[in-house]
Structure 1
Amino acid sequence: MTHPVTGIDHVLIMGEDLDAAEAQYRRLGFTLSSRGMHPPAKGTANHTIMLQHDYVELLGILQQTDLNRPRFEAVKRDGPGLHAVCCRIEDAEAAALTLSDLGISTEVPNSFERAVPLADGTTGRAAFSTLNFRKLDVPVGLLFMCQHKTPETVWLPDLMRHANTATGISALKAVCAAPSAEAGRFARFWKDASVTHFSGGASVTTGTQSARLDLMERTTLEQRYPADWINATARGGYAVLQISVLSMGQVLECLERAGINSRATAEGHAVAPELAGGVILEFV
């Protein structure tokens, strides 16, 4: 049987103040979708930042419901930030069966849709089926899968052009007490995953044109980013979101126009979590 999970589809920056997150990411030079309202049972709304092969979702928890309880509780307990990663699949129902045969447990698939304003003035629909991995099996944050039934209304060309020249998610970085062991636990969730070990950490590749996971001991991450920045990220979530760009010069121009200070890093320039929805945002 073929493992159904082929990469990372998108990441979720979650919080209770969606207006604030929206304003921050527009100032950072991103093009955002109009606000999408999810069905009342989900109790959430979002903006998306569409990239070439993946995207960032700004998710606002508007009210607690049975369906969003894990996310609501995560934000209440651990603060806003990058709490969740969504994986690529073709078919949620089939994925649940195949993963079960592979010894990987999931929850029940959930299907929903939301309205999407289109460039010609009409309204389309974006339809999805999602499937959660069990929280107790996931080393960091929340992990689930998404079947895009209407990708043509999600990856809209006008939404994929950004003033900061962003093109994709390069990597996610998180603090782990035992990076090598946790990387091994993570690797089983993707078809083509591989693990590379380094001093104080481990990396997990997740597929073709898919973001990398870097799991690090706290001291290792502090060698790369300020400790107070790490402290300001969501506890138990991801501390760093790396975004690939075409032009670092245009990134810096966007930040300068917005009056946003950045910090030079070994790989690019980073912005403090207080200015990016609770995650260290690094342009590379």
Structure 2
Amino acid sequence: MPHNIVGLDHTLVGVEDLEKARETYEKLGFTLTPRGSHIGWGTANYCIMFPDDYIELLGIVDPTKETNGLDKKLEERGPGMLGIALSTDAPEATVTSLDEAGLGPARLHDLKRKLELAEGDVIPEFKLIRYPYQGMPLGGLFICHHLTPELIRTPEWQLHANGAQYVQSVVVLVDDPDAYLAHYTALCGAINVTRTDQTMTVRIGKLNLIFVTESDMDLLFPGLFISADMPEFPHILSMSIAVSDRAKTKTYLEGAGIQVQDVPNGAVRVQPSDASGVVLEFVQAQK
């Protein structure tokens, strides 16, 4: 893949009450990491780790400090998906490549967070690449490189009672998928971009990033009710999680008192009210 991008790093879910969101996702059968806090900011997170990617639940724990705009995003859009981070294995080369391709100016930033372990805090470190493309709501597309992956990829954190293994797809509602075609072709390569009459799909490692219009949503989400106060486009609507055994996942969710819906594409769907504003689907992992 161009620009040293190797796949999805993580998805980002903004939540209004971080501890309540932790309880919500634990009830859904996920194992969460200990809490992490962003050094110098008023935000903190819990992460749901998989072998190659993860989900970040992000909330505000000290509103008197910098929130990097999370307070405004939650006020304007409510809880739900904020964006995705792609993964690079060579951040400096990625910055140069993005600039040369006209996708910049890209900027490389250092980020640290404190991870609150029982035996004492540790400090995971990252390199973030932000660039000015607005193909996601509120600038919600960036690139990440882990300097200390061993601190957050503890094996027991990657075992989930619901059988979750990785993020398989993310769906974004847009006015016109063609408006994003040129950018994602330049970012991910033409071979990884597929345009049909209804959707544009970008293949990024194991992830399918799917752009669809509201009028064509029934193809992907038959029977899903969309609220009249849904945020303006583009809007990240859903996330599909690949699981080891879809039937066992459904049984687990029902046993936890979660209302689920079987949908024609074979997924087990959880409504946004039970997943911190995310349309969450569980699908059978591909062999």
Q: TM-score range by the shorter chain?
A: 0.7 to 0.9
Q: Which residue of 2 aligns with 1:125?
A: 123
Q: Hey, what's the Cα distance between the residues in 2 that align with 1:67 and 1:109? A: 19
Q: Hey, what's the Cα distance between the residues in 2 that align with 1:267 and 1:6? A: 28
SS of 1:20's equivalent in the other structure is helix
Matched, 1:159 2:128: no
Q: 1:89-110 CA distances to partner (integer Å, 9 max, x unpaired)? A: 1243442233112211145322
Matched, 1:248 2:246: yes
Would the alpha carbon gap of residues 234 and 249 (structure 1) be closer, same or farther in structure 2, given more than 3 Å must change?
farther
Q: Hey, what's the Cα distance between the residues in 2 that align with 1:225 and 1:196? A: 22
Q: Tell me, yes or no, if the aligned pair for 2:184 and 2:193 is still in contact at 8 Å.
A: no
Q: Which residue of 1 aligns with 2:52?
A: 53
Runs (4+) of structure 1 exceeding 4 A deviation are 64-67, 229-235
Measure how far apart 1:250 and its partner are: 2.1
Q: Tell me, yes or no, if the aligned pair for 1:233 and 1:280 is still in contact at 8 Å.
A: no
- Output the amino acid matched with 2:43: T
Measure how far apart 1:37 and its partner are: 1.1
Q: Tell me, yes or no, if the aligned pair for 1:172 and 1:238 is still in contact at 8 Å.
A: yes
| 1:212-227 map, 5 Å | 212-223=208-219, 224-227=221-224
Using the TM superposition, name which of 47-56 and 224-233 deviates more.
Answer: 224-233
Q: 1:144-168 CA distances to partner (integer Å, 9 max, x unpaired)? A: 1111001111111010000011000
Q: Tell me, yes or no, if the aligned pair for 1:81 and 1:277 is still in contact at 8 Å.
A: yes
Q: Hey, what's the Cα distance between the residues in 1 that align with 2:42 and 2:121? A: 22
Q: Hey, what's the Cα distance between the residues in 2 that align with 1:156 and 1:192? A: 36
Measure how far apart 1:31 and its partner are: 0.4
Q: Hey, what's the Cα distance between the residues in 2 that align with 1:64 and 1:109? A: 27
Would the alpha carbon gap of residues 84 and 65 (structure 1) be closer, same or farther in structure 2, given more than 3 Å must change?
farther
Would the alpha carbon gap of residues 103 and 166 (structure 1) be closer, same or farther in structure 2, given more than 3 Å must change?
same
Q: 1:38-72 CA distances to partner (integer Å, 9 max, x unpaired)? A: 112x3210011011211111011343766712x43
Measure how far apart 1:233 and its partner are: 6.3
Percent sequence identity is 28
From 208, 211, 226, the counterpart of 2:207: 211
Q: Hey, what's the Cα distance between the residues in 2 that align with 1:175 and 1:21? A: 24
Measure how far apart 1:201 and its partner are: 1.3
Q: Which runs of 5+ in 1 are unaligned?
A: none
Q: Hey, what's the Cα distance between the residues in 1 that align with 2:60 and 2:176? A: 31
| 1:166-245 map, 5 Å | 166-190=164-188, 194-206=192-204, 208=205, 210-223=206-219, 224-229=221-226, 235=232, 236-245=234-243
Q: Hey, what's the Cα distance between the residues in 1 that align with 2:224 and 2:187? A: 30
Q: Which residue of 1 aligns with 2:28?
A: 28
Q: Hey, what's the Cα distance between the residues in 2 that align with 1:267 and 1:140? A: 27
TM-score normalized with structure 2 length? 0.87
Q: Tell me, yes or no, if the aligned pair for 1:6 and 1:191 is still in contact at 8 Å.
A: no
Using the TM superposition, name which of 230-239 and 272-281 deviates more.
Answer: 230-239
- Output the amino acid matched with 1:90: D
Measure how far apart 1:117 and its partner are: 5.3
Measure how far apart 1:202 and its partner are: 1.4
Measure how far apart 1:269 and its partner are: 0.6
Measure how far apart 1:170 and its partner are: 0.5
Matched, 1:140 2:136: yes
Measure how far apart 1:239 and its partner are: 0.7
Aligned residues: 276
| 1:3-152 map, 5 Å | 3-40=3-40, 42-62=41-61, 63=63, 68-69=68-69, 71-116=70-115, 121=119, 123-134=121-132, 137-141=133-137, 142-152=140-150
Q: Hey, what's the Cα distance between the residues in 2 that align with 1:44 and 1:197? A: 38
Measure how far apart 1:196 and its partner are: 1.2
Would the alpha carbon gap of residues 240 and 79 (structure 1) be closer, same or farther in structure 2, given more than 3 Å must change?
same
